[in-house]
Structure 1
């Protein structure tokens, strides 16, 4: 009986290491002496966030992502200083929630704003906003970033003289099947496209582009879990464009506003887009005067229907994420230096405000991952 009790006690103590959901935040951190990266645990019953660790050795980790296995976190160093931009890797230990710096590589362009990892975990792509372009890197077995394999740069602008005086690549995203890379270019009103072939010395092949509506400002792209549809949020015009995806090609299906018809603005500041794990709902964040999340249902043919808006309880929601179970939506509010947690209704898609975490100075980016 004593041995059974001892086993129960050991299991109880070890339990927090299993089935733990972590939430990672990055920020505009101009001072390396202050925290730039944060790790929180998410209570998947209540939705509460508890700080687990911080890291202060990186400048402006304003966009982050995780490797497919969750063992490595990748971040860009967003800087408008020529030659100062970079991409960095950090080893994550889920047992003590610690991040350990591995290495960095130069971004090959000014002001990197986005980073993503190929589904096979062996390649990393980053996008540069000011010195517009994108760079591809190999990922080594230990999670470190190898020297750049390919770099592309762009100059063409579009019709908005304030925002589109030249190209501004705002993201770089691999397709779920790993066969394509897409670069939404806010400045040129284009989505640059590549076929991805890892057997080639230079994997990005057959460069092309999709032209978006003039003045739309394509920013972020999200793929449906079925891999058949892609959704691009357009920052300047305030819209989500829906595309069918096949053989590295996007074909337009629909375009729907992220704002009420009564709202008139020169720049709607729509910023991020995500789809629930079950593929039934899509959410898009709006900054500026709105500071909300637009909520849509997704029909069986991929078409969106607007369901409503939910205030983010914070200012300038630059990015947000949905936890792996789809139960919670978590927002990074830059100007209020806060993160807000909402509970999702799985049937209706609507959001219920749960809690706010304050004191995350200039928080810009968030991603969640479950560890077993």
Structure 2
């Protein structure tokens, strides 16, 4: 029996009203923004949580935690666990922290911490099983693999890899400096960027084994960058795990690699920082939009901006679209919300997180009116 037209209209109206109600509720509930900061005796709170509703109201700080020099952190998929690197304590010892986050109340709880022998951890990543952490150390050029126990505690490093290399920039590349570590989308590799050695290293990784230990055994594959590039952070294409975009801090460029082909030559190299002179370039962060249509990079130095590229749907190459000022100094890090609608940038030298709305169709950014104040903010992440 065919449904009458007026019934169809009523059903359509009901669905639209329900969708509108859910959208309004989501807008009212807002989003958490977590910030990590470098600290001093008068500003000890290295971790802060802010509730932001994106409706022009001022963000509200819900909690903070005194963690010294929290330069970077990552968050579990459910948003309830934060894994952070504390670059050093008063005694100079670095540490890894596990912090629980209550998404209802916005409160932190320090669950566990371990001291490490590596110097100046600057990056931490959680594998897709949620059981293994990788930590990269800038000064000691090491990579730690750390197991998360069944009791949600941190073990001592299961394995440590030493990285060796050097480059042509004397004051920055006299030795290796591991600046970021990330598990591949398929969780079968661990990648590490060596700013000092102009290289990315790819270690074989196996999360589930007979002895419940990962297996990065063989000598790593080497992905070479151009002399003086200084690779800092890198991003996998959200829809194509074989496409990798590497942001080069020292040369202010982006290199694109197809990991299915030769690892020795990039498929494309484009400028990220077009303003700062070569000795002063300082590109910092690279992220793709969740739909894989746009790539964003942050530039410090004299630029203080975000560069926006369109990603070609067939070739995955980059086409420059625009730059957007960060309305602050020294954008060290930025994040994009899971729905792709917002971007938050951490301007470290003037202690501000500036927020933008993002057009999903054009990729362009529009500054939102309110800012978050966070002392020497180094990292910012969304928690929905």
Q: Under a length normalisation based on structure 1, what TM-score does the superposition of the two structures give?
A: 0.89
Cα distance, 1:81–1:155 mapped onto 2, change above 3 Å: farther
Q: Which residue of 2 aligns with 1:65?
A: 74
> Displacement of 1:21 after TM fit?
2.1
* Alignment of 1:205 onto 2:217: yes
Q: Which residue of 2 aligns with 1:173?
A: 182
> Displacement of 1:250 after TM fit?
8.1
Among candidates 223, 233, 242, match of residue 220 of structure 1: 233
CA distance in 2, matches of 1:230, 1:23: 27
Among candidates 206, 222, 232, match of residue 246 of structure 2: 232
Among candidates 268, 279, 296, match of residue 281 of structure 2: 268
> Displacement of 1:18 after TM fit?
9.5
> Displacement of 1:308 after TM fit?
1.3
Among candidates 337, 350, 356, match of residue 336 of structure 1: 350
In structure 2, runs of 5+ residues without a counterpart are 1-20
Cα distance, 1:33–1:215 mapped onto 2, change above 3 Å: closer
* Alignment of 1:182 onto 2:191: yes
**Contact persistence 1:138–1:146 (CA under 8 A):** yes
CA offset digits 1:34-69 (Å, max 9, x no partner): 32111112325x375622323232111110110122
Cα distance, 1:125–1:119 mapped onto 2, change above 3 Å: same
**Contact persistence 1:81–1:110 (CA under 8 A):** no
**Contact persistence 1:167–1:185 (CA under 8 A):** yes
CA distance in 2, matches of 1:175, 1:253: 19
CA distance in 2, matches of 1:304, 1:209: 23
How much is the aligned-residue C-alpha RMSD, in angstroms? 2.5
- The SS at the match of 1:266 is helix
* Alignment of 1:93 onto 2:102: yes
CA distance in 1, matches of 2:93, 2:105: 31
CA distance in 1, matches of 2:347, 2:95: 24
Structure 2 matches for 1:259-298, cutoff 5 A? 259-260=273-274, 264-298=277-311
Structure 2 matches for 1:55-204, cutoff 5 A? 55-79=64-88, 84-200=93-209, 201-204=213-216
Cα distance, 1:58–1:303 mapped onto 2, change above 3 Å: same
- The SS at the match of 1:172 is strand
Structure 2 matches for 1:293-372, cutoff 5 A? 293-300=306-313, 301-370=315-384
Cα distance, 1:48–1:246 mapped onto 2, change above 3 Å: farther
Equivalenced residues, count: 356
> Displacement of 1:295 after TM fit?
0.5
Using CA pairs under 8 Å that are at least 6 residues apart, name the structure with larger relative contact order, 1 or 2.
1
**Contact persistence 1:35–1:54 (CA under 8 A):** no
> Displacement of 1:154 after TM fit?
2.4
Q: Under a length normalisation based on structure 2, what TM-score does the superposition of the two structures give?
A: 0.86
CA distance in 2, matches of 1:77, 1:247: 37
CA distance in 1, matches of 2:116, 2:261: 29
CA distance in 1, matches of 2:91, 2:226: 31
> Displacement of 1:16 after TM fit?
7.9
